Amino acid sequence: MKKCVLPLISTISCIVIFARGESFAASEPRIRVLVSQGKELHFRADKSRPLIVRGINSTGKSIKSFKVNVVNGQLRYSTNKDFSKWRYLSKNRQIRITTRDSRGVWLGQRRFGGELRLLERDNSIYVINYLKIEKYLKSVVGSEMPKDWPLEALKAQAVAARTYALHQLKKRSDYDVDSSISSQVYLGVEAETNRTVQAVNSTRSLVMLHKGRLIDAVFHSSSGGQTESSKEVWGKYRPYLISVRDYDQISPSYKWEKKIEQKKLAQIFKQIGGFNTIRITQKTNTDRISSAKVYGPKGVKTISGKELRSLLDLKSTLVSFQLIPDHIERNLGKNRAYSYEEDINSADKKFLIESSRENILIDQLPQIKDNNFLLVKGSGSGHGAGLSQWGAKNMADRGASFRKILRHFYRGVKITAFREN
């Protein structure tokens, strides 16, 4: 589920407010989604309906299978089962793949509706899915939330995803969003269900505005009890993205633990000779890590909470740490063992280890032994800003409407129909 860091600085689209659904079908925007990239890709039709491949000389053949790869920055392709014959595509031509099959085109293990366009970028093939935004959302809702969740939660997800997607239109030259958690998850046709279709159709054209402008409707899995403000996450204040109470206690990630072995820590922090311990130096108002210092045998590394989360592959930055070694050996001419089980959560601690003779400053410690580990205790999953998906589920379970859910997590917004000029 959602999500990684999302851009907050945006170009605002011109919005014309109108009666819900009025002329929306005629003006419905299309979105460009980066769904795959690689050196060689395989597309295929399903059952009797062939692929429609534009940009190649197909000589009237019915194409059921299509492969494309890139060699020295140039695309080449082969069709059907004759994959030993490759034909080069001139750099000025673009491959576009569609089908009359409403179930879409297979790309690997996923199917995509709309049109797939192939671009060469940096000796890699980019596959961009062009499709209408409401069709896109029917998959996004099912990709981001389980289909059996309450309908009001699915509706809230639909409005948030629609607002987010429209906010991203035309910001990049080749595509608007990608299909991963760095934008919002889009798994193609297979993620569509009757309930996701119902959630999207029943909220058709609805978006969230703040002072007449589309908001940056970021969302995440669960916050651990209190959402985070955009100022704390990205350094940009958004009045609708403030810290609010979350109702995500039912989330499997509400409380979690992770054990990181010393060998892994030594690899991650090899620039400072490995890992001795970590000191939290600054926290946000919701107790998330803003910055920390990692101490190793050869130095100290100052690190942001965001970077720490990435390096240690943590679910969130709402965490505490505990070193759990059996012994620490200090190489001072002879081995001496110290019993050590130190909670290192507070930014104000002096971080001393007690021995029978002395207090040893933490940045003077030797590297802990390979059979020791760092225990991470955390809460929540994701950056913590905006809609909490598990919080939305719990609110919907208790009878909240999608509008109430959205207005709780996005403060001061107006939920209304839209039309883009």
Pairing of strands 30-38, 177-178: parallel
Residue 243 DSSP label: -
| Neighbouring residues of 250: CB distance < 8 A, sequence distance ≥ 6 | 390, 393, 394
pLDDT averaged over every residue in the chain = 85
Instruction: Indicate whether 306 and 215 sit together in one domain.
Output: no
Residue type, 56: I
In whole angstroms, what is the distance from residue 244 CA to residue 318 CA? 15
Asked whether the beta carbons of 120 and 68 are under 8 A apart, the reply is no
Residue 235 located in a structural domain: no
Would residue 51 count as lying in a domain?
A: yes
Do 167 and 63 belong together in one domain?
Answer: no
Asked whether residue 69 is assigned to any structural domain, the reply reads yes
- Helix axes of 389-397 and 402-409: crossing angle, nearest 10 degrees: 140
Domain enclosing residue 205, as ranges: 134-223+384-417
- For 77, counting Cβ atoms within 10 Å of its Cβ (0-12 exposed, 13-18 middle, 19+ buried), the class is buried
Q: How buried is residue 271: exposed, middle or buried, by Cβ count under 10 Å (0-12/13-18/19+)?
A: exposed
14 lies in some domain: no
Looking at the fold, whether 274 and 166 belong to one and the same domain comes out as no
d(CA 44, CA 38) in angstroms, rounded, equals 17
Report which of 302, 294, 346, 296 is spatially closest to residue 320, judged by C-alpha positions. Answer: 346
Q: pLDDT category, 85, cuts 50, 70, 90?
A: confident
Same domain, 203 and 304: no
Q: Which residue's structure tokens are 């030594």? A: 266
Last residue of a domain, one of 97, 122, 147: 122
Two tokens at 58?
A: 């197909």
Q: 29 in a domain, yes or no?
A: no
Q: Where are the alpha helices (DSSP H) in 211-332?
A: 230-234, 262-268, 305-312
Last residue of a domain, one of 92, 122, 152: 122
Percent of the chain with pLDDT over 70: 80
User: By the 8 A CB rule, do 132 and 111 touch?
Assistant: no
Give yes or no for a contact between 277 and 325, defined as CB atoms under 8 angstroms apart.
no
pLDDT band at 89 (very low <50, low <70, confident <90, very high): confident
pLDDT reading at 355 higher than 60: no
pLDDT score of 84: 72
* Domain count of the fold of the chain: 3
153 Cβ partners below 8 Å, 6+ apart? 145, 389, 392, 393, 395, 396, 402, 405
Of all residues in the chain, the percent with pLDDT exceeding 90 is: 69
- Same domain? For 201 and 314 the reply is no
User: Same domain for 372 and 404?
Assistant: no
